Amino acid sequence: MHPRNVLLVWLAAACGGGTMHVSQGESGNDTPVSLAPEPQGAPDSTLKSPTDSTPSPEAVQDTARTQQGYAPYGADENATNLEIRRIGEWSHTGIREARRMVIQDANAWAEFWSELGVGHRPAVDFTRDIVIAVAAGERSSGGYEIAITRVTQVDGELRAEVRETSPGPNCLSASSLTQPVDVIVVQGVKPRSWSFVEQKAVRGCSP
């Protein structure tokens, strides 16, 4: 029996594609038609790729501040250098402790000189001058020194710069005890206050 308009379709079994034969009436004209597999869904080009959730590093602000520098204590541009007269420097004295003294009257001067124990006391006119004395204290050997290197005045304040020197490891020094002292006179001043600027030094000696 040959019914009209019967469509017979043979599908290829498991491949998703194959050939379809169409029969129309009795013409017997079988034209193979290719059945291509349905294309897979193409990715939607409108979808954006996921963005990197890692935040970009922020600029780091340098909060470090330059530390303000300070000039040395005795380096005041307004300081006035004062004229000094050295009475003497000694290594063997009667003052066994460290001292920084400003002497402004004859009684204090006589008491200090008696304790110093180095001979005749020089005269000082305390109506216009003052005496500055510095002592290093008792040391275990020779080679130690103390000296007033500079005296300045700023707004009525007297500043005395003091340098203590000790012998280096290669220096030959006497083994006896010493008590270094330096005494100066500063002329024509009557300070309201005073201070001492300390400096330490080591004497270098060749081996």
> What is residue 52's predicted lDDT score, i.e. its pLDDT?
45
Write down the pTM of the prediction. 0.63
Q: Which residue has the tokens 């019967």?
A: 6
Which candidate, 166, 119, 114, places its Cα nearest to that of 140?
166
> What is residue 50's predicted lDDT score, i.e. its pLDDT?
43
Residues 6+ apart with CB under 8 A from 107: none
Distance CA 75, CA 73 (A): 6
> What is residue 76's predicted lDDT score, i.e. its pLDDT?
65
Distance CA 99, CA 152 (A): 19
> What is residue 75's predicted lDDT score, i.e. its pLDDT?
55
Distance CA 154, CA 75 (A): 11
- Which residues of the chain, if any, have pLDDT below 50? 2-28, 31-37, 39, 41-74
